[in-house]
Structure 1
Amino acid sequence: MLCVSTPEELRVIAQLAPISGLLTELGERFTGSGYQIALVGGPVRDALLGRVGSTPDLDFTTDARPEAIIKVIEGLATAIWDVGIAFGTVGARIQGQECEITTYRTEHYDRDSRKPAVDFGDTLEGDLGRRDFTVNAFALRLPQMQLVDLFDGATDLENYLLRTPGRAQDSFDDDPLRIMRAARFVSQLGFRVSDDVLQAMHEQAERITIVSAERVREEFMKILMAADPRTGLELLVDTGVTDWILP
């Protein structure tokens, strides 16, 4: 496993200092119960970018199954909700922060279904490998606060480049909504897409029709509300995606 260099690790820890107590206690709870847990995705990415808000969205991943997650956080969480439990996600309010804790998983769309199929996994490596882009495939192991980067996302983050952990074609085929997310990150964060992501967006554009209109609309609205909506919209037009999502 490749661990990111110490300066980047220290940057993340410094950015997340206001919630370090929560991270430590949650980590100790899970490891004390025999499970692994890590902070993943956007919060770690934003910490590396130095743009963590006062109330960041906190996403965690663990090898504990949903029922075990609930048992571990009982007494620590002031509220628990299980609306996403079928997809492996337990929501909770812990120390005033809203958290989502999700069992390691893989997710994909069947050819004739608008709902993703979810399979639980057993390793952090497998979970990170199914993430949409390398810049969202970071993990901060808890409670040791060890930063993990398996796909050289730190370099992509430095270059503001969107790449997928595996083949872009496979990634977009598994979850076509990632096509919309690519455009959103271009608009929100100023990223550019890699050549293979651009090609996959072209070739998989029609695949977006398998995703529910509500989920597509949500991503489209996020693009419109972003700092630079034009660049994301131009990407959707240039790749032919708008031919399938707009009347």
Structure 2
Amino acid sequence: MHVLPTHDALRQILPSVIFELADRFVRAGHELSLVGGPVRDLYLGRVSPDLDFTTSARPEDTLKIIAGWADNTWDVGREFGTIAFKKGTYTLEVTTYRADAYDKDSRKPVVAFGDNLHDDLFRRDFTMNAMALRLPELELVDPFDGVSSLTDQQIRTPGSPDISFSDDPLRMMRAARFASQLKIEVSPEVRQAMSEMTDRIEIISAERVRDELVKLINGADPRAGIDLLVDTGLADRVLPEVSALRLEIDEHHRHKDVYQHSLTVLEQAMELETDAEGAVPGPDFVLRFAALMHDAGKPATRKFEPSGAVSFRHHDMVGSKLVKARMRALRFDKDTTKAVARLVELHMRFYGYGDAGWTDSAVRRYVTDAGSLLERLHRLTRSDVTTRNRRKAERLAFAYDDLEARIAAIAEQEELDSIRPDLDGEQIMAILGIRPGPVVGRAYKFMLNLRLDEGVLGEETAGERLRQWWALQPEAQAGVTE
């Protein structure tokens, strides 16, 4: 049973800045309430880092009330009634009561300021977020029974869900996000409305969908959120590569359920995240999303072989391209996109190590190709073992333990994190007597490959090998020095 702390306990729990602000609004003759997530979180036994308020004051009145008290203010949301400001270490947002109206083809509401708290709460996304604490008396206002939603572990809307989702289709993504973050289910009527209204998500900008997806993936139970997106068909619109993982299982069951496998890999990757002091502090979106999407190339590469086996040749490369395209469509930044796509591309690289073994050169290339993603690649590769065959799982784990040990040993000897050729560009030009140009780049690449293949050679030996390479180049034979 979720219970709101007592009045006295709330006074101790809530930051004093809340009551200072309330006093200023009351003295100015306006209502002020703590609203939404911060109130919900009190029922969940935690204090939200967000401090959101709703008020009868218009934006211009709010600016007057906090003038000289707030440290900084910004009014980029003034058009929508929101004034944000900083007080000490806290960031606060105060929004005028709203009674929004929506155009069915518009991405944004037509803002209409309201005149009472009840109507403002009615326009909010879910009943658990439609609760308020009147300030300064700390009176709970819960006209749509948000407390019951938390107690029943059900996501509901204050009004009809089809109207709510038609007004703001992003709320369907939020439902999935809250299912992940709070480990609760959506009500049957919410699920049905999501299933029937998936096309409405098309009017929402890619950036807003992306932001909700990131929060979902980084939640406590992303499987629940992803399942909801897939089961309702919303994933077909926003993340079709995940829906496509539900490959039809052939009658002979010659391959595992790729969709369920991918969700298991995601959960196992989460378990391998480290704390804030570790190599991969969780929640780590790059690792988690790569785990979910690592087999995205399988549907396009599935082939039934004459032997009866099923193959997915080059699904790593195909999947990497699909992931990159999807993340670009969702307006992810270049670095995040590149990192996730690279992990997907590399996730199969390890297989075969336990059977054939690798030379030191192959180990160096593995580390170099992974670069800054090496720790994530370690975790992704280990997470990709979902077999119920205990002997096979133990063999793969032993092989990866061995690989990590070899990486550590080579790193200790060669400072693997900063591998450089024995000769830099200036030295290459001096030895070969050439000027800057493309040939220098080719020579540098040759020296880097030499370093990866054979380790440290020393400048003298490296210089001799460089001269041998140069003698075979067309530019040297033609006497070109650029």
TM-score by length of 1: 0.91
Relative to its length, the structure with more helix (as a share) is 2
Alpha-carbon distance, 1:22 to partner: 1.5
Alpha-carbon distance, 1:15 to partner: 5.2
* CA separation of 1:135 and 1:16: change in aligned 2, threshold 3 A: farther
Superposed counterparts of 1:82-101, under 5 Å: 82-101=75-94
- Partner Cα distance (2:90, 2:14) in 1: 9
- Partner Cα distance (2:119, 2:146) in 1: 16
- Partner Cα distance (1:18, 1:46) in 2: 12
1:30 is aligned to 2:22: no
1:226 aligned partner? 219
Q: Which range is displaced more, 22-31 or 229-238?
A: 22-31
> Structure 2: which 5+ residue stretches go unaligned?
241-482
Alpha-carbon distance, 1:221 to partner: 1.0
- Partner Cα distance (2:51, 2:12) in 1: 14
1:171 aligned partner? 164
- Partner Cα distance (1:88, 1:23) in 2: 19
Q: Which one of the candidate residues 14, 19, 42 is aligned to 2:37?
A: 42
- Partner Cα distance (1:227, 1:18) in 2: 24
2:195 aligned partner? 202
CA contact (8 A) 1:109 1:115 kept: yes
% of aligned pairs identical? 55
- Partner Cα distance (2:135, 2:67) in 1: 18
2:465 aligned partner? none
SS, match of residue 38 in structure 1 = strand
TM-score by length of 2: 0.48
CA contact (8 A) 1:9 1:146 kept: no
CA contact (8 A) 2:53 2:93 kept: yes
> Structure 1: which 5+ residue stretches go unaligned?
1-6
Alpha-carbon distance, 1:195 to partner: 0.9
CA contact (8 A) 1:9 1:147 kept: no
1:10 is aligned to 2:6: yes
Quick one: which amino acid aligns to residue 178 of structure 1? R
* CA separation of 1:211 and 1:222: change in aligned 2, threshold 3 A: same
SS, match of residue 111 in structure 2 = strand
- Partner Cα distance (1:241, 1:112) in 2: 18
CA contact (8 A) 1:107 1:175 kept: no
Greater relative contact order (Cα 8 A, min sep 6): structure 1 or 2? 1
2:114 aligned partner? 121
- Partner Cα distance (2:73, 2:13) in 1: 22
- Partner Cα distance (1:218, 1:85) in 2: 22
Query: Which structure has the larger Rg over C-alpha atoms?
Result: 2
Q: Which one of the candidate residues 228, 239, 242 is aligned to 2:235?
A: 242
Alpha-carbon distance, 1:14 to partner: 2.5
CA contact (8 A) 2:5 2:42 kept: no
Alpha-carbon distance, 1:19 to partner: 3.6
- Partner Cα distance (1:95, 1:143) in 2: 20
CA contact (8 A) 1:187 1:229 kept: yes
1:182 aligned partner? 175
2:409 aligned partner? none
Alpha-carbon distance, 1:40 to partner: 0.2
1:57 aligned partner? 50
2:73 aligned partner? 80
- Partner Cα distance (1:166, 1:111) in 2: 17
2:97 aligned partner? 104
Show CA shifts across 1:93-151 (max 9, x none).
Answer: 12421001000113354222223322111100000011111111110101111111111
CA contact (8 A) 2:13 2:47 kept: no
Q: What's the C-alpha RMSD, in Å, of the aligned pairs?
A: 1.8
SS, match of residue 99 in structure 2 = strand
Quick one: which amino acid aligns to residue 17 of structure 2? L
1:211 is aligned to 2:214: no
CA contact (8 A) 1:41 1:137 kept: yes
CA contact (8 A) 2:180 2:221 kept: yes
The count of aligned residue pairs is 239
- Partner Cα distance (1:188, 1:170) in 2: 24
CA contact (8 A) 1:172 1:179 kept: yes
Moved over 4 A (4+): none
Quick one: which amino acid aligns to residue 35 of structure 1? H
2:141 aligned partner? 148
- Partner Cα distance (2:45, 2:158) in 1: 23
Alpha-carbon distance, 1:20 to partner: 4.2
